[in-house]
């Protein structure tokens, strides 16, 4: 792809991922943290934004809801003048190149797949990658 074909470009997006490696328990003293999809409500929005990594549903972008929303978001981005997205879901957080191709074909958005290994996932799962830190 030539640079002049990129158009309006978002440089760090995630259209699909499993980010379980950053899951943290909810802070102590918060009695009604929304852990599940059914409990996502406007009244919980503030606390969810403050502690986004304490909700399993919030850190996984790999379910049917996420896939449907991503295509809708891409179509809205295209309608607003967007043309390209750099998708940074790399090895370790469930990269899905086939889904990226499908979303690109259905939306007309160029999707550039990032490469590499997610650092947090690597630190927590070194044996999975067969690597060691010296």
Binding site for Zn ion (CB under 5 A): 88
Residue 22 or 71: which CB sits closer to Zn ion?
A: 22
- The owner of tokens 């939306």 is 107
Distance of closest approach, residue 23 Cβ to Zn ion, in angstroms: 16
Distance of closest approach, residue 86 Cβ to Zn ion, in angstroms: 10
Distance of closest approach, residue 14 Cβ to Zn ion, in angstroms: 6
Distance of closest approach, residue 88 Cβ to Zn ion, in angstroms: 5
Residue 82 or 92: which CB sits closer to Zn ion?
A: 92
Distance of closest approach, residue 93 Cβ to Zn ion, in angstroms: 9
Residue 26 or 114: which CB sits closer to Zn ion?
A: 114
- Indicate the angle between helix axes 64-79 and 97-107, nearest 10 degrees: 40
* Nearest-CB residue for Zn ion: 88
Residue 88 or 96: which CB sits closer to Zn ion?
A: 88
CA distance 30 to 132: 38
Residue 10 or 131: which CB sits closer to Zn ion?
A: 10
């Amino acid at each position: 792809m030539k640079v002049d074909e990129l158009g309006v470009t978002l440089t760090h997006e995630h259209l699909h991922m499993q980010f379980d490696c950053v899951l943290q328990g909810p802070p102590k003293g918060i009695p009604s943290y929304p852990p599940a999809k059914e409990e996502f409500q406007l009244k919980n929005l503030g606390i969810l934004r403050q502690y986004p990594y304490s909700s399993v549903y919030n850190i996984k972008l790999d379910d049917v809801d996420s896939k449907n929303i991503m295509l809708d978001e891409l179509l809205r981005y295209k309608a607003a003048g967007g043309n390209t997205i750099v998708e940074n879901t790399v090895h370790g957080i469930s990269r899905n190149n086939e889904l990226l191709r499908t979303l690109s074909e259905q939306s007309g958005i160029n999707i550039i797949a990032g490469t590499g290994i997610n650092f947090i996932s690597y630190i927590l799962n070194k044996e999975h990658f067969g690597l060691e830190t010296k």
